[in-house]
Structure 1
């Protein structure tokens, strides 16, 4: 049976951010911590060794695969900062049109630095993602 590697744990969010090598990326991580905390009203938790997540939901796919994931989150990775937002919502695409400089994958939006984006659009993306996932996966 497949075991999910990215699980919520009791590691320190602050300690993780303090260990980010790049001082600018560390500064952006603290800025994002404030933005996500204020926007969601939720406490930050570590998910796996490198994702800072807020809230959680339980998903179950038609294939039978299921698990828990943060509603939203971010990770200050070496190359770019990963923002974990709801992947399948059409509203996300409309918001991203006015977001600033980014690239996107299936479930992640990647930015180089907070200065490249519009913070108010990020706040809207966070709010939209939380609402979408709570509606798509009720019961949490």
Structure 2
């Protein structure tokens, strides 16, 4: 089984400009700038709502089914209730550093931040670099 979220040709700029509430527009552009700087990668829309940087191929063995696919090395989405980050805690070094980020909550694979001013941007930069360091991008 493969994950359904795939890279698209949709405009990252248009997506970020359309974020809601208005505060998320500015935060989204700021996070995009930080991610571009720390990864050196251009952003790509993954599905309709995730801005991703780089990609890697994963295989998750399971007792009942095997899941595999491609996923961004690091990404985010400026959602209404929180800025959602992907990949920040997937590697042991990121998980160890995460408590230093500031005020956040966690989901299964995500880190949620209500306001950027509640986190340490230097720690965010480190977490992004750690997440982006995972395996080589399998795409040419």
Q: Deviations over 1:92-136 (max 9, x none)?
A: 2331222111111231110012111111100100111122x21xx
What TM-score, normalized to structure 2? 0.88
Classify 1:124/1:18 alpha carbon distance in 2 versus 1 (closer, same or farther; 3 Å).
Answer: same
Give the distance between the partners of 2:20 and 2:129, measured in 1 at CA. 30
Q: How far is the alpha carbon of 1:87 from its aligned partner?
A: 3.8
Q: 2:125 matched to 1:126? A: no
SS class of match (1:100): coil
2:84 to 82, 85, 101: 82
Q: 2:64 matched to 1:62? A: no
**2:46–2:52: 8 Å Cα contact kept in structure 1?**
yes
Q: Deviations over 1:11-61 (max 9, x none)?
A: 000001111121111100000000000000000000000000000011112
**1:74–1:82: 8 Å Cα contact kept in structure 2?**
yes
Q: 2:89 matched to 1:93? A: no
Give the distance between the partners of 2:2 and 2:106, measured in 1 at CA. 26
- Segment of structure 1 superposing worse, 95-104 or 70-79: 95-104
Which residues of structure 2 form unaligned runs of 5+? none
Which residues of structure 1 form unaligned runs of 5+? none
1:109 to 108, 111, 121: 111
Query: Which 4+ stretches in 1 moved above 6 angstroms?
Result: none
**2:85–2:110: 8 Å Cα contact kept in structure 1?**
yes
What TM-score, normalized to structure 1? 0.88
**1:87–1:106: 8 Å Cα contact kept in structure 2?**
no
